[in-house]
A = this chain, B = another copy of it.
């Protein structure tokens, strides 16, 4: 009898905003591990790092990209992340240039105290990534872990509502966004970057947590956006936006059970169940866009 306990899945989430140096893999991975240790010291249990955080982003040749890529999970970067996750008892989601045979993928790995958990390969490639990487061929996996159901997407994937929707429909409690946001479209006076709003509306309409770790700095004349965030299933920010130019760690206490509890908005509306599959089939009929631009 007595007082009812609120059911909880409390997870302290940390988002590491940092600047990798192009091609300096050892130094980048070491810096990332230092930040992971700092976040673990502060109690973080799920730690999210940016896209391609070991290699840097702006490859000028395929050969260069190939030389910086590693197999997963047997490459040295993933092995070091696994070792750190096991030593500290934390989950780590981080972006990495992946090599599988002759193919390159812009990937994210999830590792934890139990070791290697899984890989996501970026489905929507941005701009000159298309020159060197293959499009992701693993769909949008959702990994069931002791702390909750975790999905990962990468940067431009967030521009496609389908990415978030599939993660949510497959049960993700939290979507980690490993990203290298560039300043597009240019920011409107007084507003946050559009990338932030894409995360916020996706969190809201899918009722999920979102933890987006962006990089900072300028690499080979390409500036990056910073402004990392952690978002609640309401769509409002729990932490951030981080600065546009500094390395920093954001923290938020996330009760991942809320992503399930809040799936019903009232007695008559649960947005994922209010989807009109019968109507959306119409989308199939217009997949080949009936006009040109």
Q: Which residues of A contact B (CB under 8 A)?
A: 123-128, 130, 135-136, 139-140, 156, 159-162, 164-166, 169-171, 184-185, 188, 191, 194, 197-198, 200-201, 204-205, 234-237, 260-261, 263-266, 268-277, 279-280, 282-283, 286-287, 289-291, 293
Contacts and interface: CB of A to CB of B under 8 A. Distances in A.
Given A126-B269, A165-B161, A235-B194, A286 B170 contact: yes
Contacts of A263: 293
If over half of A's interface residues share one DSSP class (helix, strand or loop), that class is named, otherwise mixed; here it is: loop
Nearest to A126: B269
21 contacts: A124-B276, A127-B266, A135-B276, A159-B205, A159-B271, A161-B162, A161-B164, A162-B283, A166-B283, A169-B287, A169-B289, A171-B291, A184-B265, A185-B204, A188-B237, A194-B235, A194-B236, A197-B197, A198-B205, A201-B201, A277-B287
Among A261, A264, A265, the most chain B Cβ lie within 10 Å of the Cβ of A265
Nearest to A131: B268
Given A127-B268, A293-B264, A160 B205 contact: yes
B139 A261 contact: no
A161 B205 contact: yes
A290 B170 contact: yes
A181 to B, nearest CB: 14
B201 A236 contact: no
Contacts of A274: 124-125, 156, 160
A139 B279 contact: yes
Q: Closest 6 interchain pairs by CB?
A: A161-B161, A188-B236, A169-B286, A263-B293, A201-B201, A185-B234
B204 A201 contact: no
A197 B201 contact: yes
A92 B212 CA distance: 41
Contacts of A286: 166, 169-170
A244 to B, nearest CB: 17
A126 B268 CA distance: 8
Contact of A198 (B201, B234, B265): B201
Nearest to A200: B197
A139 to B, nearest CB: 5
A260 B197 contact: no
A194 B202 CA distance: 11
A261 to B, nearest CB: 7
A240 to B, nearest CB: 13
Among A171, A268, A283, the most chain B Cβ lie within 10 Å of the Cβ of A283
Contact of A272 (B205, B264, B279, B289): B289
